[in-house]
Amino acid sequence: MPKKPPRNAYYFFMHDFKEEQRLKGINYATLADVAKAADPVWRSSPPSVRAKYEEIAKRAKDKHNVPVAKFASTGVPLAVIEQQEKEKLEALENEIQDIKNIVKTKAFNKDILEEYFYLIDVNYYCKWDNKYLIGESTVLRFNLRDGIRDYYPELINPGQIPIGYASDVKEGCAEFGLEMPDEDSPSNMMDILANIIDFLKQKDLKSLALPPLFTMPDKVLPCKNFLQQMCHKANEDEMIFRVYRLDTLFFHLINSIKANKEEGFPKESLALVQLKKDPFKYTPELACKHHEDNGKAIECTDSRTFRWAYTVLDSCCPVAGIEACPGRHVPGNLDIDRILKFKEVRTVRAVPRVAGFGAASSSCNTSAHESTWEGNVSYAASAVSEPSGAWGHASGGEPSRAWGQPSGSGIDQDPDRESGRRERRTHAPMRMPQADYSRNIRPAPELTEEDFPALTSGLGRGRGLAGSFGRMNINKK
């Protein structure tokens, strides 16, 4: 069936004229009678009346020509999906440009070394309806010159558990070492929001805009949702917070302070790889007491933010020519002198190791635990990668404890522990057995016909075959 053509202004005028005449008691049998009666009235109508019906006809024409909307399998229009993707790309471009502006303007006169950066991390019980039930958060402040200054940790009581998600919340507690939310107590999210804003403004009270918060790519959405939930509860504008990717900052930061082409990262993906290596993952005393006691230290948000900051500082400080200070640029319980000594001793290429053990010797009675090994290092030294550059212990004041500060007592670094190391076990070559192998290669003796007796007739394999024909029923010709 062909589509109906769009109606003109006179068509809509006739419908109104017909209704006006009906109210007066005049009825028309057909639309042609209405057109004949309305024609002189339309011709004598003022321009304002014509413009009114022309606008109605234009809107009807635009509506008539609107294409049919296409939908995805989820029922969402494709136009909406395309618009969302476009907005994501624009937001990503704005994020990268914002980070570049922060780094470039500060790196021009070396102010980037004193510029404070803020990290944020959260642990959540579960995810429901595109929302996250947050149970723990940490915000940390650091710069290249002074390292980690302070941090603001908080255990969060989100309030009521969504109906049907109690099992998911229990699994989240077991995974991240959290306690079940107290549904009888009011939520403390509004207080946390005020404290985070004060923490971000502590170093720059005059600025109206809050500095951006940086986190790992997989934590961007949970952190954004966490801040949005607090803003909604407090009727605060959620646009005051900016949550950016830490690997993007890491890439532009180290490349802005490098002096040689060999330094820094040629690609942004390498910055993310370095962060995912997590070289300080098993460094002790970075987590809160709650997670240390329940054996979930590496899942603590305090520990994660410290490890992220130490990873960035561990790569950027040698490039910027900054001497590492224990407790600020590296963990306070990290024995840098022992790492350097271990690095000097291992001047030759180390043997391959699997799961921490040296490669097995060729001898069949050598165990993996007693295999070749150039020496052991302390737990803290083995938990991190060897630093680039000759770092020594730096002296300096303790960081501010206005909010919190990393603990730095460390593990026992008694040098007498060196004497307790297992000595490398060596094996003398096995001696050859006293055996005469020459007999096995002597020439064979000569054999004659006498050594091979003639075959006699009789029963047996291959013997007396002619005599056996007599016992067989074979007709001879």
Looking at residue 183, what is its pLDDT? 84
Looking at residue 252, what is its pLDDT? 93
> Is 19 found in the same domain as 161?
no
Cβ proximity of 184 and 160 under 8 Å: no
| CA nearest neighbour of 256 among 240, 271, 277, 243 | 271
Q: Retrieve residue 23's tokens.
A: 């109210």
What pLDDT, in 10s, does the model give residues 23-35? Answer: 888 888 888 888 8
- Tell me, yes or no, whether 105 lies in a domain: no
Q: How far apart are CA 331 and CA 335, in angstroms?
A: 9
What pLDDT, in 10s, does the model give residues 187-198? Answer: 888 899 999 999
158 Cβ partners below 8 Å, 6+ apart?
125, 133, 134, 135, 181, 187, 189
> Is 119 found in the same domain as 58?
no
Range of the domain at 15: 9-64
| CA nearest neighbour of 213 among 306, 307, 91, 118 | 118
> Is 51 found in the same domain as 175?
no
CB crowding 135-153: b at 16 or more within 10 Å, else e: bbbbbbbbbbbbbbbbbbb
> Is 280 found in the same domain as 148?
yes
The pLDDT of residue 303 is above 90: yes
CATH code of the domain in which 248 resides: 3.30.420.10
Structural domains in the chain (count): 2
> Is 136 found in the same domain as 241?
yes
> Is 266 found in the same domain as 147?
yes
pLDDT band at 350 (very low <50, low <70, confident <90, very high): very low
- Tell me, yes or no, whether 196 lies in a domain: yes
> Is 150 found in the same domain as 47?
no
- Tell me, yes or no, whether 348 lies in a domain: no
- Tell me, yes or no, whether 1 lies in a domain: no
Looking at residue 384, what is its pLDDT? 36
Please indicate whether residue 419 or residue 267 has the higher confidence score (pLDDT). Answer: 267
pLDDT band at 475 (very low <50, low <70, confident <90, very high): low
- In order of 59, 92, 128, the CA distances from 225 in angstroms are 41, 17, 12
Looking at residue 305, what is its pLDDT? 96
Please indicate whether residue 432 or residue 49 has the higher confidence score (pLDDT). Answer: 49
> Is 166 found in the same domain as 46?
no
β strands within 252-355, DSSP E: 353-354
410 Cβ partners below 8 Å, 6+ apart?
284, 285, 331, 332, 333, 334, 335, 380
Looking at residue 247, what is its pLDDT? 94
> Is 41 found in the same domain as 140?
no
- Tell me, yes or no, whether 297 lies in a domain: yes
Looking at residue 452, what is its pLDDT? 67
> Is 288 found in the same domain as 152?
yes
The pLDDT of residue 359 is above 80: no
- Tell me, yes or no, whether 472 lies in a domain: no
The pLDDT of residue 476 is above 80: no
pLDDT band at 70 (very low <50, low <70, confident <90, very high): confident
Three-state SS at 273? helix
The pLDDT of residue 250 is above 90: yes
Burial class of residue 383 in the structure, from the number of CB atoms within 10 Å of its CB (0-12 exposed, 13-18 middle, 19+ buried): middle
- Tell me, yes or no, whether 102 lies in a domain: no
Q: To 10 degrees, the CA torsion angle through 293, 298, 299, 300?
A: 60
Q: Compute CA 109 distance to the chain's CA centroid, rounded to the nearest angstrom.
A: 33
Please indicate whether residue 84 or residue 203 has the higher confidence score (pLDDT). Answer: 84
Give the mean pLDDT of the chain: 75
What pLDDT, in 10s, does the model give residues 372-426? Answer: 333 333 333 333 333 333 333 333 333 333 455 544 433 333 344 333 333 444 4
- This prediction's pTM: 0.59
Q: How far apart are CA 143 and CA 320, in angstroms?
A: 12
Q: How far apart are CA 5 and CA 172, in angstroms?
A: 61
Share of the chain above pLDDT 90, in %: 32
The pLDDT of residue 251 is above 80: yes
pLDDT band at 474 (very low <50, low <70, confident <90, very high): low
> Is 322 found in the same domain as 176?
yes
> Is 246 found in the same domain as 147?
yes
What pLDDT, in 10s, does the model give residues 115-174? Answer: 999 999 999 999 988 899 999 999 999 999 999 999 999 999 888 888 999 999 999 999
- Tell me, yes or no, whether 218 lies in a domain: yes
Q: How many other β-carbons are positioned within 10 Å of the β-carbon of residue 181?
A: 20
Cβ proximity of 215 and 119 under 8 Å: yes
Q: How far apart are CA 118 and CA 138, in angstroms?
A: 10
Average pLDDT estimate for 348-361: 40
Q: Which long-range contacts (CB under 8 A, 24 or more apart) does 255-263 make?
A: 256/103, 256/104, 256/107, 256/112, 257/107, 257/112, 257/113, 257/144, 257/316, 257/319, 257/320, 258/319, 259/319, 263/319
Cβ proximity of 358 and 372 under 8 Å: yes
